[in-house]
């Protein structure tokens, strides 16, 4: 890691609601549904967990989303490191275009030394305002659900509707969404051909070369960067744009 500026999909804040029906991705009833869909006997682990998602704007801008909801038919918390203790539905909201930037720096000259990583989550007013609005929106969707299908979870929802309560909730339950980018951004660390400034025969080809993070998931963008790098290394000329009469 040779760069310091770091954009990160921060603010992966989740809310869990126990289901009164006792059904989730860990229940026997769900196995029956998966069997009907042709996904059994592969087991619930064939699910990507985030079975539903939506991009939306908390500011009412229909052309540019600023947050993403991911819905999971299972109790997901603590980054999946803790076992679910109930059947539940989870909604997690993610800040898409954070203005807060972290840093990645070297700890020492040893190649096996772990880097120093500072996330700097939610350090700007823009990010905090967007996250508060998205958490309240997600909570509103859960509250609008039929009461016989989703039971409100007092443990995770108490205080969200109060100003100080939602801030405390975000502080306690925000984590990474695993989309770090921009530590080796084009123009700052590498040139347009992805060569590291001040070195020879060294290029960087991954999400770190993005000048800023994309609003969507980073996978497709990284594939595009890799395909472009392959063309550069092979000396392929860029395809000419078609001309229409």
Among 126, 157, 179, 243, the active-site one is 179
What distance lies between CA 112 and its chain's CA centroid?
A: 28
Cβ-contact 215, 48 below 8 angstroms: no
Q: Which of 224, 213, 226 is nearest to 68 (CA)?
A: 213
Secondary-structure breakdown of the chain: helix, strand, coil percentages, each rounded to the nearest 5: 30, 15, 55
Angular region, 36: left φ>0, alpha ψ -120 to 50, beta rest: alpha
Is 126 among the catalytic positions? no
Cβ-contact 40, 112 below 8 angstroms: no
Q: Alpha-carbon distance 228 to 230, whole Å?
A: 5
CA-to-CA dists, residue 155 to 17, 52, 125, 160, angstroms: 9, 24, 27, 11
Q: Which residues are catalytic?
A: 179
């Amino acid at each position: 890691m040779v760069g310091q500026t770091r954009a990160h999909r921060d603010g992966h804040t989740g809310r869990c609601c126990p289901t009164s029906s006792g059904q989730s991705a860990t229940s026997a009833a769900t196995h029956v549904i998966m069997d009907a869909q042709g996904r059994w006997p592969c087991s619930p682990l064939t699910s990507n967990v985030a079975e539903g998602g939506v991009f939306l704007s908390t500011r009412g801008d229909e052309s540019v989303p600023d947050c993403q909801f991911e819905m999971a038919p299972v109790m997901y918390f603590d980054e999946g490191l803790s076992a679910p203790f109930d059947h539940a539905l989870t909604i997690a909201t993610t800040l898409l275009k954070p203005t807060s930037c972290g840093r990645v720096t070297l700890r020492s000259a040893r190649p096996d030394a772990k880097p120093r990583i500072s996330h700097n989550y939610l350090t700007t007013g823009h990010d905090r305002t967007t996250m508060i609005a998205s958490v309240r929106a997600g909570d509103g969707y859960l509250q609008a659900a039929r009461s016989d299908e989703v039971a409100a979870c007092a443990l995770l929802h108490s205080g969200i509707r109060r100003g100080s309560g939602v801030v405390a909730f975000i502080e306690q339950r925000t984590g990474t969404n695993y989309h770090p980018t921009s530590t080796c951004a084009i123009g700052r660390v590498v040139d347009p051909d992805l060569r590291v400034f001040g070195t020879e025969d060294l290029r960087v080809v991954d999400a770190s070369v993005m000048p800023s993070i994309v609003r969507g998931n980073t996978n497709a963008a990284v594939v595009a960067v890799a395909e472009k790098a392959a063309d550069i290394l092979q000396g392929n000329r860029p395809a000419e744009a078609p001309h229409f009469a």
